Amino acid sequence: MQLLEAPGDYRPDDIEQVMSSYVETALWASCDEHDVPMDENYDAGDIMPASLDEARGEVADFLAANRDTIERVRAQHPNYGLSQVGHDFFLTRNRHGAGFWDHGLGEDGDTLSDAAKVYGSSNLEEYGEGRLYFV
């Protein structure tokens, strides 16, 4: 695990690592109109590009706004990587009953939970022709 050592933004590949986990979690945690988890019939390639770009912007914004807290958590909890950040960001912002607050991260977990909730809910929905988008 490589931690950021100096102030600055996350690299594009860091953002993509978080984003990949965020999308994987969204597919797993979102259900279609028949209550079937989206990941049973869809994958990331089924999400509309504009919707992915919007989600990527939110992920990048969350990372930038919470960089110091995230890096402190990663330094104190070596098994807590960027993929976990993406997973927890999706679950926490959508109030799934799991997320940043349930990993024993203390005050930092609470801080990240509060920060994630500011983004509001954003789940996947079907948009005809086998396409998905975040709403």
Domain-located, residue 6 = no
Question: In this predicted structure, what is the pLDDT of residue 6?
Answer: 46
* 2 lies in some domain: no
Q: Which long-range contacts (CB under 8 A, 24 or more apart) does 110-118 make?
A: 111/66, 111/69, 112/66, 112/69, 112/70, 112/73, 112/88, 115/62, 115/65, 115/66, 115/69, 116/62, 116/88, 116/89, 116/92, 117/92, 117/93
Give the pLDDT band of residue 12 (cuts 50, 70, 90).
Answer: very high
Residue at 31 is within a domain: yes
pLDDT, residue 5, reads 46
Domain hosting residue 77, numbered range:
12-95+111-134
- Return d(Cα 8, Cα 33) in angstroms, integer: 42
Residues 74-95 have pLDDT tens digits of: 999 999 999 999 999 999 999 9
Is pLDDT of 41 > 60?
yes
| Total tally of structural domains belonging to the chain | 1
Instruction: Examine the pLDDT at 69 and tell me if it is beyond 80.
Output: yes
Q: Given this model, what pLDDT does residue 128 score? A: 81
